[in-house]
Structure 1
Amino acid sequence: MKHGAQGSIRTGEKTGDGADARRPAAPAGAGFRVPAQPGAGDAGRERVRRERADDPAAADPAWGAAARGGEGDGAARGEHTHSETPLPRQRATVQRASVRGQVLAALRTALVSGELRPGEVYSAPVLAERFGVSATPVREAMQQLTLEGAVEVVPNRGFRVVERGARELAELAEVRALIEVPVMMRLARTVPASRWAELRPLAEATVRAAVSGCRATYAESDRAFHRAVLALAGNEQLVAVAEDLHRRAQWPLVGGGPDARHRGELVADAHEHTVLLDALIAGDLDVVRELVREHFTGSV
Structure 2
Amino acid sequence: MKHLHSGKVRDLYETDDGLLLMVASDRISAFDYVLEPGIPDKGEILTRLSLWWFDQLKDVVPNHVVSADVPAEFAGRGVLVRRLRMVPVECVARGYLTGSGLVDYRREGVVSGVPLPPGLTDGSRLPEPIFTPSTKAPMGEHDEPMTFEQVVAAVGPDVAERLRRITLDVYARGAEIALERGIILADTKIELGWDAEGELTLGDEVLTPDSSRFWPLDLWEPGHAQPSFDKQYVRDWLLSPESGWDRTSGEAPPPLPDEIVERTRKRYVEAFERLTGRPFRR
TM-score by length of 1: 0.24
**Structure with greater contact order relative to length (CA < 8 Å, sep ≥ 6):** 1
Higher helix share: 1
TM-score by length of 2: 0.25
CA radius of gyration, larger in? 1
Higher strand share: 2
